[in-house]
Amino acid sequence: MKYQFNTRRKKYGTGAALSLLNGNVGHEVLAFHKKLPNYAVTPLHNLAHLSRRLGLGSIHIKDESWRFGLNAFKGLGGSYAVGKYLADKLQCDINSLSFAALNTPEIKEKIKDCVFVTATDGNHGRGVAWAAEQLGLKAVVYMPKGSSLIRAENIRHHGAECTITDLNYDDAVRLAHRMAQTKGWVLLQDTAWTGYEEIPTWIMQGYMTLAVEAYEQLAETNSPLPTHLILQAGVGSFAGSVMGYFVEKMQENIPNIIVVEPHQANCLYQSAVMNDGQPHCVTGDMATIMAGLACGEPNIISWPIIRDNTSCFISADDCLAAKGMRISAAPRPGTDTPFISGESGAIGVGLLYELMNNMHYQDLANRLQLDANAHVLLISTEGDTSPDIYEDIVWNGRSA
């Protein structure tokens, strides 16, 4: 792994504005999600044995494989953005809106021509397709080359039109943007650029539900609040959302925040290395087993939040994601609860294990204050969204 400590981290209240990610917004978003079909709080696993094994105070991991039956967290962002867009279109307050209300004949007549378009490696597109399906609306999804056929079929299962392109992720986003402009469709993309910021903000706000749930679950079980957050990142929307909520909630007691990316798509790490305060892109095929993190262009909305609050940026090898998947699936019998964590979901576990077990990184672990007083919160953002890849890694030992 490669790492870069952040010299631009700010004290609470002096960095990027967090008003769009505060506790009030989080509870508003959660209230919206509670009205959706299949809503349930996802599990927060206490990995007590692993924390003792690694010499840490505690490890908790939020298991988003249970979210809405979609096997990943992304439906939170897509559904909330659809809700906000339609609330604006109907000129009503989202707090008074539910998917049940949107399915009344009068409202369905007003929204029937809406078509949502997006680019995805799989999870975000499935979330958008699922949200559109609940309302009988059309979704069009473009996937980058090399995308899993199973993930594409899962998207089509929700009635969406889905195409695997010969483009990388960032170029697939540009294709979705062009199609939205040409066809008059609604671009529902989970990254932002100049002139396209409102919908990505709604998507980031949608992700807050899992952060609110995790915070409340820790409180309900009398567990310590996190001293450390390890957050995986692609464009940074998820990482910015979760850290924004916890920073605003914990204020002067901000956790140490570690952002981890794959080597082949480490745009946030590279931005930290450049250290000019600006987001920087990486290009190429970005071949990594962590398909959900294979993004080369930072979200310009989340970047200031990440820049001002992250303690350390880490660029990690695929083998750490594979290790995290195996540790999650096969704890020592009779100890921690086993759970299924996919390639992009398990990198936090694999990274933490490597930091605490590899003597080469002992100094890094010490500098990060990963010790017996550390209480670490991780998010497993997906389950086995591509079962064949999952089995190849967990059963057959594939590491890249």
Digit-coded pLDDT (tens) for 331-351: 999 999 999 999 999 999 999
* Residue 364: per-residue pLDDT: 98
Residue 211, in any domain of the structure: yes
* Residue 24: per-residue pLDDT: 94
Catalytic residue from among 63, 121, 308, 318: 121
Is residue 400 scored above 80 in pLDDT?
no
Task: Among 164, 196, 228, identify where a domain stops.
Answer: 196
Span 18-30, mean pLDDT? 95
156: containing domain: 75-196
Is residue 76 scored above 90 in pLDDT?
yes
pLDDT tens digits, one per residue of 172-182? 999 999 999 99
Is residue 14 scored above 90 in pLDDT?
yes
* Residue 99: per-residue pLDDT: 79
Span 132-146, mean pLDDT? 95
Residue 129, in any domain of the structure: yes
Q: What percent of the chain has pLDDT over 90?
A: 96
* Residue 101: per-residue pLDDT: 85
Q: Residue 100: pLDDT band by 50, 70, 90 thresholds?
A: confident
Q: Same structural domain for residues 370 and 250?
A: yes
Task: Among 134, 165, 196, identify where a domain stops.
Answer: 196
Is residue 193 scored above 80 in pLDDT?
yes
Which residues, listed in sequence order, are joined to residue 375 by a DSSP beta bridge? 58
Span 255-279, mean pLDDT? 98
Residue 336, in any domain of the structure: yes
Is residue 261 scored above 90 in pLDDT?
yes
Is residue 374 scored above 90 in pLDDT?
yes
Residue 320, in any domain of the structure: yes
* Residue 300: per-residue pLDDT: 97
2 labelled catalytic: no
* Residue 366: per-residue pLDDT: 98
Q: Same structural domain for residues 326 and 380?
A: yes
* Residue 140: per-residue pLDDT: 98
Q: Same structural domain for residues 184 and 211?
A: no
Q: Same structural domain for residues 236 and 384?
A: yes
Q: Same structural domain for residues 369 and 223?
A: yes
Q: What is the mean pLDDT of the chain?
A: 96
Q: Residue 119: pLDDT band by 50, 70, 90 thresholds?
A: very high
* Residue 249: per-residue pLDDT: 96
Q: Same structural domain for residues 251 and 265?
A: yes
62 labelled catalytic: no
**CATH for 210:** 3.40.50.1100
Span 310-320, mean pLDDT? 98
* Residue 103: per-residue pLDDT: 87
Q: Same structural domain for residues 59 and 29?
A: yes
Q: Domain tally for the chain?
A: 2
Is residue 122 scored above 90 in pLDDT?
no
Question: Which residue, 185, 296, 51, is CA-closest to 176?
Answer: 185
* Residue 285: per-residue pLDDT: 87
pTM for this entry = 0.96
Q: Same structural domain for residues 325 and 178?
A: no
Residue 84, in any domain of the structure: yes
Residue 286, in any domain of the structure: yes
pLDDT tens digits, one per residue of 282-291? 999 899 999 9
Is residue 62 scored above 90 in pLDDT?
yes
CB atoms within 10 A of CB 156: 13
Span 199-225, mean pLDDT? 98
Q: Same structural domain for residues 221 and 266?
A: yes
Q: Same structural domain for residues 167 and 31?
A: no
Span 242-254, mean pLDDT? 97
Q: Same structural domain for residues 265 and 190?
A: no
* Residue 98: per-residue pLDDT: 82
Task: Among 173, 196, 219, identify where a domain stops.
Answer: 196
Residue 399, in any domain of the structure: no
Q: Same structural domain for residues 220 and 358?
A: yes
Is residue 85 scored above 80 in pLDDT?
yes
Residue 400, in any domain of the structure: no
